[in-house]
Amino acid sequence: MRVAGVGQVLIFRVHAVKRMIQRRITEEEVRMVLERGEVVDNYPQALPYPARLVLAWVGGRPLHVVSAQDPGEGDTFIITVYEPDGREWEPDFRRRKQ
């Protein structure tokens, strides 16, 4: 799914759309995470483009968005979206528990 609007073009992978539906996360919330969030991890070796994990609190809940940006076109690919599980993540949701 390709969504254009104010700002960047977002291209949602099928996996991301499925997870958004399952987890009741909207396109608007994904945009908010990308616009206001903090990059908590980078995946420079990801293909076809380097990816990143972005965290933001939206509507009182933490959300993670994994995205990759095409440097040539500037499009942003949304790979997956989820609410991090407190059993797997540190309380600030910036690092996985060891």
Phi, psi (rounded to 5 degrees) for 16? -65, -45
Q: How much is the CA Rg of the chain, to the nearest whole Å?
A: 13
User: Of the CATH numbers 3.20.20.70, 3.30.2310.20, 3.40.50.2300, 3.40.80.10, which one belongs to the domain with range 7-82?
Assistant: 3.30.2310.20
Contact (CB, 8 A) for 9 and 37: no
First to last CA, the chain: 35
Tell me the pLDDT tens digit for each residue of 10-65: 999 999 999 999 999 999 999 999 999 999 999 999 999 999 999 999 999 999 99
Answer yes or no: pTM beyond 0.75. Answer: yes
Q: Could you give the CA distance from residue 67 to residue 45 in angstroms, rounded to a whole number?
A: 13
DSSP H helices in the chain: 14-23, 27-36
